[in-house]
Amino acid sequence: MASGEVKLIGSWASVFVMRARIALHLKFISYEFLQETYGSKSELLLKSNPVHKKMPVLIHSDKPVCESNIIVQYIDDVWNSSGPSILPSHPYDRAIARFWAAYIDDKWFISLRSILTAQGEEETKAFIAQVEERTELLEKAFIDCSKGKLFFNGDHIGYLDIALGSFLGWLRVVELDANHKFLDETKTPSLTKWAERFCNDPAVKPIMPEITKLAEFARKLFPKPQG
């Protein structure tokens, strides 16, 4: 099952693609990275993910797996004897990790992205406040999940670290754009230290995008209205 060619359809800038790449790196899996061109979708992408037409798509022995969190869990399941466990071992801890990963995607990320698309100062301020509140919740979640250890997952980065950590590049871009820090030593001391550890992890460091490059890409994706 663990043998077979591995390809990943994605892009250097995508948070969700990054999740899959981190998981593959953690398990020491060689894969072919098929980068999509911004502005168009390859035939392979459309064929492999006809329902959502989105990346990332993991293609393992020609069979596609879609949705970043599902891909991460798949990688952990298939290559379970390689590298550290990505999901916690106890079912309750797994449920908690899944809960917060869903929260990050359904709530936290949505407000973060809204800052980039907000119209006017009032709207921007409201979304900033929302992200502040939601990040505070994640600070508490980190303290609960890590149980005094270095990562959400304990001694090694895991599912929830990947779910949140893959956003760190974009979070920095939004902080610069909004001129507001969400992660800092006074408000979110645990998360701030965790973020640095996460970015320096050998499975993450080589693929974390450069902030200036990402900021430039953000300006293309979310152009500011003129005047």
* Site residues (vs another protein, CB under 8 A): 1, 51, 60, 63, 65-67, 70-71, 73-74, 77-78, 91-92, 94-95, 98-99, 102-103, 137
> Of 39 and 91, which has the nearer Cβ to another protein?
91
Nearest-approach distance from CB 73 to another protein, in angstroms: 7
Distance CA 108, CA 31 (A): 30
Nearest-approach distance from CB 140 to another protein, in angstroms: 10
Question: What are the residues whose beta carbons fall under 8 Å from the beta carbon of 153, sequence distance 6 or more?
Answer: 86, 88, 97, 145, 146, 159, 160, 161
Nearest-approach distance from CB 58 to another protein, in angstroms: 9
Nearest-approach distance from CB 6 to another protein, in angstroms: 13
Q: Give the single-character DSSP code of 224.
A: P
| Residue found under tokens 């001391």 | 189
> Of 1 and 147, which has the nearer Cβ to another protein?
1
Nearest-approach distance from CB 91 to another protein, in angstroms: 4
Distance CA 82, CA 92 (A): 23
> Of 141 and 171, which has the nearer Cβ to another protein?
141
> Of 96 and 199, which has the nearer Cβ to another protein?
96
User: Minimal CA–CA distance to 160: which of 89, 208, 205, 98?
Assistant: 98
Q: Give the single-character DSSP code of 29.
A: -
> Of 71 and 174, which has the nearer Cβ to another protein?
71
Distance CA 91, CA 69 (A): 17
